[in-house]
Structure 1
Amino acid sequence: MAVTVPAGVMLAVGLWGVDRGGMWRDEAVTFQVARRTVPQIWRLLHGVDAVHGLYYLFMHAVLAVRPGEVPLRLPSVCAAAATAGLVAALGTRLGRPRVGLWAGLLYAVTPMVGHYAQEGRSYALVAAGAAGATLLLVRAVGSASGGAGRSWWAYGVVLGVTCLLHELAVLLLLAHAVTLGLARVGRRVWRGWACAAGVVVVVLLPMVAVSRAQSAQLAWVREPDMESAQELLRAFVGPASGVYWTCLVLAGMGLSRVVGRRAGELTCAGVGAPLAVVPPVMLMLMSQVAPLYVDRYVLYALAGAPLVVAAGADRVAGVVGRLRPVGRRVPTLPHPRLRSSGETPLAPRDDSPHDDGTSIAQPPPKSPHFTSPLVTLTGALAIACAFVHQLPLLREDRSPDHRPDNLAAVSTVAARELRPGDPVLFLPSHTRATALAYPGAFRGTRDVALAVTAPASGTLYGTEVDADVLRRRLAGIDRVWVVAARYLLDGAEPRRPADRLKLAVLNERFALSERFVRDRVELRLYVRRTLATDSPVLPAGPPRPAPR
C-alpha cells in the first residue's frame, strides 16, 4: 500500500488532462523524429540531438503502434507513476511504511512533476531511472556482504541506461558518492560502487564526445544565478507559499538524521539530501564556465526532496508521540529468549568482519515512535491539503496555452486560411516544426525557403536554400504566409544569417496584410508593397485573434 497508493495517485494526476489538444515545439520534435525510419534517426543523431538518441529510438517503437499526442505522452505518465512508487519504496526501506507513503505522495502532488509527466520528452523517464538506480544502491549497500556482484551490476546497468537517456544524469554518481561518504561504508562497498560507476562512465564517453561537438544547440542557455537556485528550490518542495515553508521546516527536521548512528547505516536524509542538492549545484557551478543548466535537466534530483521532508514529518510525529503517548508503541525490550544473544526481533545485527577487515553494521533498533494508523492518515490528509492548495497551478498546467507555444492552434488557423499552392515562409527555421507535426494543415502549400526535407537531410527542420535562391523565389510572388516566432517580429535579432535575410526581405518588399496571434508563434499574411496600401510592417491596431 505504501508503494501502490503514491503510484496510483501519480498515474491519476498524469492522466488528468493529458490530451490537452496541442503539442509545443519540443514535443513536436519528438513526434516528427520518432516517426522517421531507424536509419533516418541514426543519421540525424550524427549531426544533432545525440543526447536524446535512445529516447527517440524508444519513441519510434511506441509511436509505431499508434501515433498521436496521447501515446506521445503516455511513457512519461507511466514513468512518473513508477518514480512515485520508487520514492515510496525508498522511504519505506530507509525509514518505515508511513515515511514511504508520505514521500511518494509528496512526489506525486508536486506541480513540477505533474508538468513533466505530461511532456513528450525524456525527462520523466530519466527521473524513473535515477530513482530506480538509487533504490538499487540502497539494496547493494544493505546486502549481506555490501559488495554482492549482482547488486552492483544491476545498479550499473540501470544507471547506464538512464545516462544514455540524458547524459547529465551522470551527476547522480556524485550524489551517490556523497551518500556513501555520509554512511561511512567500508572499502568493499566503495570498491563495488567504483566498478559500477566506472562502467557507466566508459559507456557514456562516446555520447559525451558526440554531444560536445553539438554544443551549439545550447547557445540559448544562460548562466544560472541565485534567482535560478531559488526558483528550483521552490519547484522542488512546492511553489505555493504555505506548502513551500512547511516543507522547508520539515526538511530541516529531517536533515538532523543525515548521518546514520552506525557505520554503514543509510538514512532518508543521507540518501535524499545529496540526491536533491548535488546534481543541481554541480550543474549550476559547471554552467558558470559553459552554460548547461536548465531546470528540467535535473528533474531527476527532485525525488530526493520528498524523502527528506517525509523523514522530518516522521520525526515530528515521533516527538508528538512521546509528548502525548496515545496509540500503539513498538516494543523496545528484546524477547526473553533472545536476551542472551544480545539481539532483538526488531534489529538483528551483523557485525561480523569481512575479508578486508571492515564490517557492515545493521541499522540500530528503532526508537519508540507513535505508530497509530491515525498518524499515517493525518500525514496523508495534510498532503491532500497541499494538493488542493496547489490545484489551480496544476489545472492551469493542463491548458495548451501554458506551454511556450501551441503549434496545434497555429495549424488550425493555417488549415482554415491556407490554400493549395500558397507560399509559406518559416521564420526562423525551427517554426517549421508546426508543419512537421501537423502536415495536414500545410498540405499542398509551397515552402519557399526549403531545399531538402528534414528526414532526407538528416536535420531537425530541413536545410534551406542560399540567399540568392531565396531572393529569386520571393521576387516571384506577390503574397506569402509567414509562420514566425513572435520575438523576431517584435524586433529581436535573428541568430542565423538566413533568418536575417528573410526578415529583411519581408520588411523591404512586403507589407503586413493580416495577423493571427497565437502566443509565441504567429501566422501572418504579407503582400507585396506595390499591391498593398501604405501600411506599416507592424500594425498599430490590435491583432486579429485566431479562433480557439
Structure 2
Amino acid sequence: MLALGCWGLDRGGMWRDEAVTFQVARRTVPQIWRLLHDVDAVHGLYYLLVHAVLTVHPGEVVLRLPSVCAAAVTAGLVAALGSRLARPRVGLWAGLLYAVSPMAGHYAQEGRSYALVAAGATAATLLFTRAVRGGTWWAYGTVVALTCWLHEFALLLLPAHALSLALARVGPRAWRGWGCAAAAAGLGLLPLVLVSRAQSAQVAWLRPPTWATAQGLLRMFLGPADGVFWACLGLALVGLLGLSAPGGRRGEPTCAGVAAPLAVVPPLALMLVSRMSPLYVDRYVLYALSGVPLLVAAGADRLLSLRPRTPLAAPAGAVAVLLALTHQLPLLRADRDPARRPDDLAAVARAADRGLRPGDPVLFLPARTRNTALTYPAAFRGARDLALAEPAAGSGTLYGREAGPLRLRHRMASLERVWVIADRDVLAGRWTPGSPVERAKSAVLAEEFTPVRESVRGEVAVRLYVRRALPGLSGAPEPPPVPPRPARR
C-alpha cells in the first residue's frame, strides 16, 4: 500500500478540495479557528493536523503524505482483523486486497481527511473485536470519538458494530460496554454536529442517491475491472455464509459477522438518509471499504477449507491478488493523471500566467474559483482582484469577502479589458449563482463586455473580455497588445 500510494504522488497539480486543504492549513492556528466558526468545521481537526505537517515543507507531496501513510496503516489493520477473526492467511489476503483496490489507492493520494478516517475506523473495529472478547471498551470509544472528529459520518460505525454484536449473540455485559462507549463518543461529537449543521449550505450541491449510485459504489468496493469484480463478488457471497457464530456459540464475532456490517451499514444508512436530505458522497463512506476485502478473503478461505490439506494455499492466494493488481494496473496508472480529478488548478494557474500582466484586472466567477489564486499565487502576482474586499485568511472565510454589487459595477465601469477565471457552467448559463454579487458579475460581463480569448482547463475557463463598442459604432475594439512576459525562474 505504501509503494502504490507513493507511486505518482507528485501529479503536478491540486484539485479544488485539495487546494482548500492546502490554503487553509497554511494559515495560522487563530485564523483556522476563526474559519471553523463559519465554514468547514467538519474538517477542523484535519486542517490542524495538516497545518503541523506543512510546517515541514509546504508542498503538494507533503500535503498527501498523511493520506499515504494512513492508507498503509489501514491495510495493515485489515490484515490484523483477518488474522484475529479467522486465520493468518485470511489476514494476508485481505490486507493485500485492500492495498490493490483502486478506490483505496485513489484516496491514498488525496490531500483530504478520508484516508485518515478509514484508518481510524478500521482501528476502532479491531479494538471492538478485542473488547467483545474481554478487553476494555474505553480505548474503542476514544478511537471512535477521534475518528468522528475527523469526519462526523464515521459515527455510522456504531450501528455497524451493533449489528455485529447482534450476529454474535453477545451477552448483556458486552452490550453495556459497547453502549457506554457509543454514548460517550456520541456526546463528544455533539458540539461538532451542532456547528456543522449550521454550515449545511456547504453540501447544498448534493443530490439524492439513486440505484445507479449504489451500483457504482459496489463496483468501486469490489473492483472496477470486470474480471476482478465478478470474482470478488462470488467470493464475498460465499463469505456471507459465515455471518453468525459457528456451532451455535455465543459471544464470538466471526470475520463475516464483522466485515459485512462494516461494508454495508454505513453506506446504506447514509443513502437512506440522503433520500430525504442529500448527504451522500462515496468518499464519506470510504472507511466501509475495509470490510469488503475481509469478506472476500473469508469466502476464499471457506472454499479452501473444503480441501483442508491444500498445500501452499496462502502463497497461492497472494498470487491471485497479484493477478488482480495486474488486471487493474491500467486503472491505477490512469488515476495518477491530474485530468482524472474534477479539475486541475495548477493547469488553470498556468493558463492565467501566460496571459496576465502586472496590473491586469481579474474577476473570479464565482468566488470559489479564487481558490486557484490562493493556491498558486505566483501566477496572479501583481494582478488586481476586482471583487475582493477582504482577504480570505483575514476574513475567516475560504475565499475572501467580496465588495457589494454597486461597488463592483463602479470598479468595472472604466475597464477596457478584464480577465475572468470562471466556472464553465456559469459561463454557459447552466447554473446561476444566488449571490447578488455573483449575479452582478455575470450581468456586467454580458451587458458590457465580449470574450475575445479563452483557455479551458477542465471545469474552469480562463477568458479575456474586452468592452463592447458603443451604440452606433461598428465592431468591437481590438484588445490592447499583450507584451511578452519575462520567464520566471
Q: What TM-score do the two structures reach when normalised by structure 1? A: 0.85
Deviation at 1:125, TM superposition (A): 0.1
Deviation at 1:534, TM superposition (A): 4.5
Q: Give the 3-state SS of the residue equivalent to 1:405 in structure 2.
A: coil
Q: Which amino acid aligns with 2:305?
A: G
Give the structure 1 partner of residue 9 of structure 2.
18
User: Does residue 60 of structure 2 align to residue 121 of structure 1?
Assistant: no
Give the structure 2 partner of residue 266 of structure 1.
253
User: Does residue 482 of structure 2 align to residue 491 of structure 1?
Assistant: no
Judge conservation of contact 1:427–1:482 (CA < 8 Å) in 2: yes
Deviation at 1:370, TM superposition (A): 3.3
User: Does residue 325 of structure 2 align to residue 390 of structure 1?
Assistant: no
User: Does residue 25 of structure 2 align to residue 34 of structure 1?
Assistant: yes
Deviation at 1:249, TM superposition (A): 0.5
User: Does residue 78 of structure 2 align to residue 140 of structure 1?
Assistant: no
Give the structure 1 partner of residue 171 of structure 2.
186
Alignment of 1:311-330 (within 5 A): 311-319=298-306, 321=307
Q: Which amino acid aligns with 2:169?
A: R
CA distance in 1, matches of 2:234, 2:284: 26
CA distance in 2, matches of 1:416, 1:512: 17
Using the aligned pairs only, state the percent identity. Answer: 66
Q: Give the 3-state SS of the residue equivalent to 2:452 in structure 1.
A: strand
Deviation at 1:500, TM superposition (A): 2.0
Structure 1 residue corresponding to 2:388, chosen from 443, 446, 450:
450
User: Does residue 190 of structure 2 align to residue 199 of structure 1?
Assistant: no
Judge conservation of contact 1:428–1:494 (CA < 8 Å) in 2: no
Q: Which amino acid aligns with 2:468?
A: R
Structure 2 residue corresponding to 1:503, chosen from 425, 442, 453:
442
Alignment of 1:114-263 (within 5 A): 114-143=105-134, 148=135, 151-261=136-246, 262-263=249-250
Q: Give the 3-state SS of the residue equivalent to 1:525 in structure 2.
A: strand
Deviation at 1:533, TM superposition (A): 7.8
Judge conservation of contact 2:469–2:475 (CA < 8 Å) in 1: no
Give the structure 2 partner of residue 277 of structure 1.
264
Deviation at 1:508, TM superposition (A): 1.0
Give the structure 2 partner of residue 54 of structure 1.
45
Closer/same/farther in 2, CA of residues 527 and 153 from structure 1, 3 Å limit: same
Deviation at 1:495, TM superposition (A): 2.4
User: Does residue 276 of structure 2 align to residue 289 of structure 1?
Assistant: yes
Deviation at 1:281, TM superposition (A): 0.5
Structure 2 residue corresponding to 1:521, chosen from 456, 460, 485:
460
Deviations 1:435-493 (A, max 9, x none): 00001110111000111110111000001111000101111211101111111112213
Q: Which amino acid aligns with 2:452?
A: S
Q: Which amino acid aligns with 1:315?
A: R
Q: Which amino acid aligns with 1:276?
A: A
CA distance in 1, matches of 2:432, 2:468: 23
Deviations 1:376-395 (A, max 9, x none): 11111111111111111111
Q: Give the 3-state SS of the residue equivalent to 1:65 in structure 2.
A: coil
Closer/same/farther in 2, CA of residues 534 and 105 from structure 1, 3 Å limit: farther
Deviation at 1:522, TM superposition (A): 1.2
CA distance in 1, matches of 2:431, 2:114: 31
CA distance in 2, matches of 1:431, 1:523: 10
Deviations 1:330-372 (A, max 9, x none): xxxxxxxxxxxxxxxxxxxxxxxxxxxxxxxxxxxxxxx3363
Deviation at 1:318, TM superposition (A): 1.4
Closer/same/farther in 2, CA of residues 533 and 71 from structure 1, 3 Å limit: farther
CA distance in 1, matches of 2:431, 2:224: 34
Deviation at 1:189, TM superposition (A): 0.7
- Structure 2: gaps spanning 5 or more residues: 477-489
Judge conservation of contact 2:138–2:181 (CA < 8 Å) in 1: yes
Q: Which amino acid aligns with 2:298?
A: A
Structure showing greater radius of gyration is 1
Judge conservation of contact 1:223–1:293 (CA < 8 Å) in 2: yes
Q: Give the 3-state SS of the residue equivalent to 1:41 in structure 2.
A: helix
- Structure 1: gaps spanning 5 or more residues: 1-9, 322-368, 536-548
Give the structure 1 partner of residue 370 of structure 2.
432
Alignment of 1:400-415 (within 5 A): 400-415=338-353
Q: Give the 3-state SS of the residue equivalent to 1:21 in structure 2.
A: coil
Alignment of 1:352-371 (within 5 A): 369-370=308-309
Deviations 1:33-89 (A, max 9, x none): 000011110000000000000000111100011100000000000000000000000
Q: Which amino acid aligns with 2:81?
A: L
Q: What TM-score do the two structures reach when normalised by structure 2? A: 0.95
Judge conservation of contact 2:244–2:257 (CA < 8 Å) in 1: yes
Aligned Cα root-mean-square deviation (Å): 1.3
User: Does residue 456 of structure 2 align to residue 469 of structure 1?
Assistant: no
CA distance in 2, matches of 1:157, 1:406: 38
Judge conservation of contact 2:349–2:379 (CA < 8 Å) in 1: yes
